[in-house]
Amino acid sequence: MRPPLYIALRFLAHRRRAFLLSLSGVVFGVAIFICTQAQTQGFANNFIRSTLGSTGALIMRSRLQAATAELPVGPKNAGTRRRIGEGINDAAEIMRVSRQFSNVVACSPVLRGSVSARAGFQNATVDVFGIEPASHLHTTNLAEQLVDGNFDDFRTNPSSVIVGSRLAAALGVNAGDPVQLLSPGGEFWRFTVAAIARSGVGSVDLSRLYCHAKIAQRLLHKPFPATMIVYKLRDTDRAPALAERFEQLFQHEAESWQEREEGNLQLFTTLRLSAAITVSLIILLAGFGIFNVLTMTVLAKVKEIAILRSMGYRRGDISAIFLWQGAMIAAVGSVLGCVLGALMTWGVSHIPIRVRGLLYANHFLVAWNWRHYVSATVLAIIAVFVASYVPARRAAQLPPVATLRGSSA
């Protein structure tokens, strides 16, 4: 007897056009699924890289104090009432102990405050980051973010600042231009713009200004040298657990990047799920097409099915014939869809766009992730299997004797 796979190929050849249409639905469904997931994850990954490179994977800031002397400070979700004291007085000791943790790559103290900036006739409220250039350089990607000027000019000149790109545009300044900062005491301090940085995060580029830590302490009239410590981690996914550990150990508020950017991360996740659900409808429609084609094939091949049953083919063999047809459509469609998806992703990544809001981009951002291809393939296989199962089961239940009698009458 001929194997079910051979007969399945013959049936496919007999209804070639219909099966090509079904195949094209699977191909385009898989390809579009891969392309949309690559885009949504690409933008999300870019935002994560940018925010980690500018603000670190973990931030430790204000001191925690128990509500009563007897009540210890517990972890974040323990329900303990806490009072928060501003500033970190023992930043050097905290960083020394922190570096002993295997997940900590580097850390840097930062003195943060808000002041008014003036350049020419332009004014803006800026977020001052007083940093130690050497340690901050190892903790963040600040040196890589410079689009004008250079970091050495900032390092060697205490009266210089680094300005965010969108803030520089708002003030109308470039590298080498003067800018004035208004201290809380009402005095204007004059600085020189050493460089302009573009982090890729809109809120950072619009408000942040870097200066030397000691200058910032005098400018902001702060009695303590740091308001927070920024950490760079080897495994950023473990930041929440480390933040909780640090909070218990150092009695300072610690915040992971996942907690800090929770709203934006939820936005990207929602967009990915929405795109996946929308594109999955294409594969679902392709499944309906395969269901219709196989159902019509069963109706057109009733006599042939009856003859095969009379020749000794079992019900399982008859089901296998139609399941093999679905399997071949799923296999060929998935392979071609993955190839087309990769080509579409590559093509989309070269389309120019202008994004200047939550993040910075001049073209579509994509992520090359094998999970997108596996997810699309599994989704296609499930849809095609479900579409093939009902016609295959119906074909197996056709009574051979009654069918032959009916066809000969």
Average pLDDT over residues 317-327: 77
Pair of tokens at residue 98: 């922190």
Q: Is 258 exposed, middle or buried (0-12, 13-18, 19+ CB in 10 A)?
A: middle
147 Cβ partners below 8 Å, 6+ apart?
Answer: 165, 196, 197, 198
| Nearest Cα residue to 195 out of 134, 135, 142, 154 | 154
Phi and psi at residue 191, in whole multiples of 5°? -130, 165
Ranges assigned E (strand) in 132-207: 146-149, 160-164, 178-182, 188-197
CA distance 208 to 264: 19
Q: What is the DSSP secondary-structure string of 44-99?
A: HHHHHHHHHHHH-SEEEEEEEEESSSSS----TTS---EEEE--BTTHHHHHHHHT
In this prediction, residue 294 has a pLDDT band, given cuts at 50, 70 and 90, of confident
Enter the tokens of residue 126.
């800026």
pLDDT of res. 307: 67
How far apart are alpha carbons 61 and 88 in whole angstroms?
Answer: 7
- Token representation of residue 292: 């219709």
Q: β-strands 104-119, 122-131: how paired?
A: antiparallel
DSSP label at 236? G
Expressed in angstroms, the distance from the first to the final Cα of the chain is: 27
* Least confident stretch, 277-281, 334-338, 389-393, 395-399: 395-399
Interstrand relation of 122-131 and 178-182 (parallel, antiparallel or unpaired): unpaired
Predicted confidence at residue 156, as pLDDT, reads 92
Residue among 135, 63, 60 nearest 98 (CA): 60
Q: Whose structure tokens read 């469904």?
A: 29
> Regarding predicted confidence, which is higher, 41 or 77?
41
What pLDDT shows up at residue 213?
93
Amino acid at 162: I
Tokens in use for 2?
A: 């001929």
Which stretches does DSSP call E strand in 103-258?
104-119, 122-131, 146-149, 160-164, 178-182, 188-197, 208-212, 228-233, 252-256
Mean pLDDT across 321-348: 88
φ and ψ at residue 173, rounded to 5 degrees = -120, 155
Return the minimum-mean-pLDDT range out of 153-157, 318-322, 362-366, 376-380: 318-322
Over residues 174-182, the mean pLDDT reads 93
Lowest mean pLDDT among 304-313, 352-361, 378-387: 304-313
56-85: per-residue pLDDT in tens? Answer: 999 998 877 654 444 344 455 444 546 566
Rg (CA), the chain: 32
Mean pLDDT of the chain: 83
Query: Does the pLDDT at position 256 exceed 80?
Result: yes
Q: What percent of the chain has pLDDT over 90?
A: 42
**Percent of all residues in the chain with a pLDDT value above 70, rounded to a whole number:** 83
Q: Which residue has the tokens 């099966």?
A: 19
Mean pLDDT of 277-298: 77
pLDDT of residue 73: 45
Is the per-residue pLDDT at 406 higher than 50? Answer: no
Residue 13, pLDDT > 70, answer no
Average pLDDT value for residue range 372-387 = 89
Q: Minimum mean pLDDT among 14-18, 68-72, 254-258: which range?
A: 68-72
Q: What type of residue sits at position 357?
A: G
SS3 state of residue 112: strand
CA distance 34 to 27: 11
Q: Among 293, 367, 294, 380, which residue's Cα sits nearest to residue 337?
A: 380
Q: Pick the more confident residue, 13 or 283.
A: 283
Q: What is the pLDDT of residues 102-159, one digit of tens each?
A: 999 999 999 999 999 999 888 999 999 999 999 999 999 998 999 999 999 999 999 9
Q: Which residue has the higher pLDDT, 228 or 311?
A: 228
Model confidence at 297: pLDDT above 90? no
pLDDT at 82: 61
For position 342, what pLDDT does the model report? 94
Q: CA quadruple 19, 383, 373, 273: dihedral positive or negative?
A: positive
Of 133-137, 157-161, 270-274, 294-298, the least confident: 294-298
pLDDT recorded at residue 202: 86
What average pLDDT does this structure show over 227-241?
94
Q: How does 165-203 read in b/e, with b if 16+ C-beta sit within 10 Å?
A: bbbbbbbebebebebbbbeeeeeebebbbbbbbbbbbbb
What length does the chain have? 409
22 forms beta bridges with none
User: Is 209 within 8 Å of 129 (Cβ atoms)?
Assistant: yes
Determine the average pLDDT of the residues in 193-216: 92
Nearest to 162 by CA among 118, 212, 116: 212
